Chain A
Amino acid sequence: MDKIKSLDDLKRMREEAMKKRDATTTSGKKQVVIGMGTVGIAAGARETLKAILDLIEQENLSDVVVRQTGNVGIDSWEPVVQVMVQDQPQVNYGKVTPEVARRIIKEHLQGGKIVEEFVIPS
């Protein structure tokens, strides 16, 4: 993506992109939440979040919303990422390194297939 140098440039480019996008594609259909408590941060959650933001930017994913939350209470599985896709049940992933995060975005959010080996057992 070309570097966007000002807020005015961003507004203009965004409006152009939105005109081209399918009007029925609304944001917020897919949500990714990264736990960012002390244990998560020490386990590398910031790098996990950075990998997700990098992929959203590189792949131009316009229907993914990213959120941080605090400690989710399962320290031994940090970094933890929760995925919510439309009306499907929430999936909690554990030990999500940047590489695992990229797989989750590509295989689960884009491909519709849960990455079972990293799902936290309930």
Chain B
Amino acid sequence: MKELALHVLDIVNNSVSANAKNITIEITENTNDDYLTIEISDDGSGMDADTVSRITDPFFTSRTTRRVGLGIPLLKAAAEACNGGLSIQSTPGVGTRVKVDFQLSHIDRMPLGDLAGTMLGLVTGCPEIHWKLDYRVDEKEFHFDDEPLKRELGMDSLSEPMVISYLRGLLKDGIEDLHKN
């Protein structure tokens, strides 16, 4: 993975597989304190303590088609290489929170990448899930919640050309504005 947005995509797909109905992505960039934090929270099936303790092992997976699960271990390694780390909190029947942080200015920190494109794909591709994005860069904030759109137009509308165009513009502009002076 060459972008953190791809790691976000990977982690949220774990949430989808865990039958989450609500997934929230929180990103914070703090230039004063030099950190970048990404938190992904869901209300999926959750994991017991034993599973949580093993999840960073690349040879542990819930899948039956192969014997490796690389998503979490790779993200953990990427964070630790940038003076950061990864933690997971989970409760069976309640949900899971994955938090990863990086030194923002670290030379090896991969870029966040195309977060707008990633969110567009998630909202249109998994319309049964309530998606929220809270992105903060120092004093600026962008909040996205797909619930108002679904309430007005219905879940079935999300693959329509006009809806894709609207969502694309909303996400792209909202995220870009955070980095404008």
Contact = CB atoms under 8 A, between A and B. Distances in A.
A38 B17 CA distance: 12
Interface string A8-28: 011101100100000000011
11 contacts: A10-B166, A27-B156, A36-B121, A38-B70, A38-B71, A46-B6, A46-B118, A53-B120, A56-B161, A57-B161, A66-B124
Interface SS majority for chain B? helix
Interface stretch (B49-57, B61-69, B82-90, B136-144): B61-69
Contacts of A9: 166
Contacts of B118: 46
Given A11-B152, A62-B160, A71 B125 contact: no
Contacts of A112: none
Bin the interface of chain B by size: 35 or more
Interface in A32-66: 34, 36-38, 41-42, 46, 49-50, 53, 56-57, 59-62, 64-66
A11 B153 contact: yes
A14 B6 contact: no
Contacts, number: 102
A93 to B, nearest CB: 16
B121 A68 contact: yes
Interface of A: 1, 3-5, 7, 9-11, 13-14, 17, 27-28, 34, 36-38, 41-42, 46, 49-50, 53, 56-57, 59-62, 64-68, 70-71, 73, 75
A59 B164 CA distance: 12
A112 B177 CA distance: 42
B169 interface: yes
A49 to B, nearest CB: 5
Given A5-B169, A14-B163, A66-B125, 17 more contacts: A4-B162, A10-B163, A10-B166, A14-B153, A14-B157, A17-B162, A27-B156, A27-B157, A36-B125, A41-B1, A41-B10, A46-B9, A49-B121, A50-B117, A53-B121, A56-B159, A68-B125
